[in-house]
Structure 1
Amino acid sequence: MSTQKLQIKWCGEKQFEATSAAGHKVKMDGPPSGGGMDAGTRPMEMVLMGLAGCSAFDVVTILNKKRIEMTALDVHVEAFRVDKIPAVFESIHLTFVIRSPNATEKALNHACSLSVDKYCSVAAMLKAGGVKIHFSVEHINT
């Protein structure tokens, strides 16, 4: 088992600064309607960023191993939260937009499926909490 550590520092109002063990910093804040100043990423957005980043990392790794050339990869995320407290995610849809001159639809779908269904730790954690995660792939042949 490995351990990960980070620190959260309150910066006043509803603002916080997260610092990773490697020293990387991220500012968090809430919306004005919740007492924040909208000066940083919301914590639940960070969860979605973690999911998209983890999955994108996997997809790049898988496609590199398959020797599939990629010129761009974007992941668009649409998430739905329940209308009660805590307002957890109910479902998330990831759209992988991949630019590749030599990929097939089958290879791209397989790489994304391996990530979302097998390798992505963030997806596994969210699914264990009951979140439904779906994905689609848009291939741009360039």
Structure 2
Amino acid sequence: MEVTIHHTSGAQFVGETGSGHAIVIDGPEDIGGRNTGARPMELMLLSVGACSAVDVLHILRKGRAPVADCRVKVTGTRAETDPKVFTAIHLHFTVIGEGLKSAQVERAVKLSAEKYCSASIMLGAAAEITHDFAIENDETD
């Protein structure tokens, strides 16, 4: 796996993935940024949330759970001093589907957290990572 980061101006960069996708990354104005893209640490939270969501959705679908959607809100707490690493990360899953069972969702979240989500497990070496979930009925009918 490989990515390339190209400086464009100020504190702005464009990241290009080996799979052919690009994303704008920028810093705050006080360091020369223009707020034109995500901050690097925000991308870390996005990575953890996306990695976990992919796992949870895959596990539920593989188990034939009636899942229609999966959303994750990720919150991170950073250290007060440099390096301002994440000290705590919380993932709150909202899983939507008609007739979903709490045990199914709990199992999927636990498997992702403990076995499958590389990003979460890797960051867990430095930060306390917690998870919870809510189930909503699918009202698209």
* Structure 1 segment 35-114 matched on structure 2, within 5 A: 35-114=32-111
Give the CA deviation at 1:83. Answer: 0.2
1:138 aligned to 2:134?
A: yes
Determine the C-alpha separation between the residues in 2 that align with 1:34 and 1:106: 47
1:123 aligned to 2:123?
A: no
Give the CA deviation at 1:59. Answer: 0.5
How much identity, in percent, do the aligned residues show? 34
Unaligned regions of 5+ residues in structure 1, if any?
none
TM-score (structure 2 length as normaliser): 0.94
Give the CA deviation at 1:113. Answer: 0.9
Determine the C-alpha separation between the residues in 2 that align with 1:57 and 1:76: 14
Determine the C-alpha separation between the residues in 2 that align with 1:33 and 1:96: 34
The one-letter code of the counterpart of 2:127 is V
Give the CA deviation at 1:22. Answer: 1.5
Q: How many residues align?
A: 138
- SS in structure 2 of the partner of residue 39 of structure 1: coil
The one-letter code of the counterpart of 1:117 is E
Which consecutive aligned stretches of 4+ in structure 1 deviate over 4 angstroms post-superposition? none
Determine the C-alpha separation between the residues in 1 that align with 2:22 and 2:34: 18
Give the CA deviation at 1:34. Answer: 3.0
- SS in structure 1 of the partner of residue 124 of structure 2: helix
Unaligned regions of 5+ residues in structure 2, if any?
none
Could you list the per-position Cα deviations for residues 58-102 of structure 1 after superposition, in whole angstroms to 9, with x for gaps in the alignment? 001100111002111110011100001010000011000011112
Give the CA deviation at 1:35. Answer: 2.4
- SS in structure 2 of the partner of residue 138 of structure 1: strand
